[in-house]
Amino acid sequence: MGIPATVKVGCCGFQVSRKRYYEKLKLVEVQKTFYKPPKIETVSKWRKEAPGDFEFTVKAWMAFTHDPRSGIWAKTGLPKDDSYGLLRPSRENFSLWDEFRVLLRELGTNVVVFQSPPSFRFDAVNLANAREFFSTISGEFTFAWEVREAGWFKSPQFRDLLEDLGISHVVDPMYEEPVYGKIRYYRLHGRREGKRIIYSHNYERTELERLKELVERWSLRENYVLFNNSYFSFENAVQFQELLHSM
């Protein structure tokens, strides 16, 4: 089976100037939205300066996913209030979502990526909260969810939640197989040494060829491949895109 025509390649964040980026790639996952959403004027400028066929996926604000008691919570600009975060189906989280989706619409975004921290463990409370949170905000966008605690991968209830709500499981395909997805969404973080991630990893040709095989094996109608390996992400994304078109 040949590689699908709908493999979209980009980086997590603009790793080079936007002008240079637009010349080589047609997809980016916006990262600035994770810590604190930028002003509407800023995202409007990004959309206007980008080519018409350029796609912005967006990393969801950590205010939805993280613990208000975490060390990085201060970057949200929100109080340390347990009504926020951890995918709680709270009035406060839903109010933030109403504000956040204004930015998504301005960017013309379809795919929103939620990333839960390793501390967000699989248990009955988190499972129930996630189900109610996502079901309440679903309908307008395509959701992709990256969980980073092994308990989720092992549970059939996790797959049921994804399938019931049409949420795509985000993985690094070099290390994990997606559980379920309406689309495939991959985030390449670099090399792993045990539980440690070496973000400053420059993928070799053989690794990119392996990545191509994995994307091909699990391909769906739409497939997103995002490089998040710091210094080398732009170069590797361009190399991978060229590999797709050369074979």
Q: pLDDT tens for residues 51-97?
A: 999 999 999 999 999 999 999 999 999 999 999 999 999 999 999 99
The separation between the first and the last C-alpha atoms of the chain, rounded to the nearest angstrom, is 12
The pLDDT tens digits of the residues spanning 178-230 come to 999 999 999 999 999 988 999 999 999 999 999 999 999 999 999 999 999 99
Average pLDDT over residues 9-34: 97
pTM of the full predicted structure? 0.96
- Indicate whether 154 belongs to any domain: yes
**What whole-number distance in Å separates Cα of residue 222 and Cα of residue 110?**
12
Question: Pairing mode, if any, of strands 196-198 and 191-193?
Answer: antiparallel
**What whole-number distance in Å separates Cα of residue 101 and Cα of residue 143?**
12
- Indicate whether 12 belongs to any domain: yes
- Indicate whether 2 belongs to any domain: no
Q: Which residues contact 39 (CB under 8 A, 6 or more apart)?
A: none
**Distances in Å between the alpha carbon of 232 and those of 16, 176, 182, 228?**
10, 21, 29, 8
Tell me if 44 sits within 8 A of 50, measured CB to CB: no
**What whole-number distance in Å separates Cα of residue 41 and Cα of residue 133?**
28
Is the per-residue pLDDT at 244 higher than 90?
yes
Query: Which residue segment(s) compose the domain that 92 sits in?
Result: 7-246
- Indicate whether 144 belongs to any domain: yes
- Indicate whether 209 belongs to any domain: yes
Q: Which residues contact 49 (CB under 8 A, 6 or more apart)?
A: 18, 22
Here the CATH number for the domain that contains residue 70 is 3.20.20.410
- Indicate whether 203 belongs to any domain: yes
Tell me if 61 sits within 8 A of 34, measured CB to CB: yes
Residue with tokens 């973080």: 189
Tell me if 24 sits within 8 A of 6, measured CB to CB: no
The pLDDT tens digits of the residues spanning 130-155 come to 999 999 999 999 999 999 999 999 99
Nearest-5° angle of CA 235, CA 189, CA 219?
Answer: 85
For residue 246, the model assigns a pLDDT of: 85
For residue 1, the model assigns a pLDDT of: 46
- Indicate whether 211 belongs to any domain: yes
The domain tally of the chain equals 1
Is the per-residue pLDDT at 2 higher than 80?
no
85, 87, 233, 239: CA torsion to nearest 10: -170
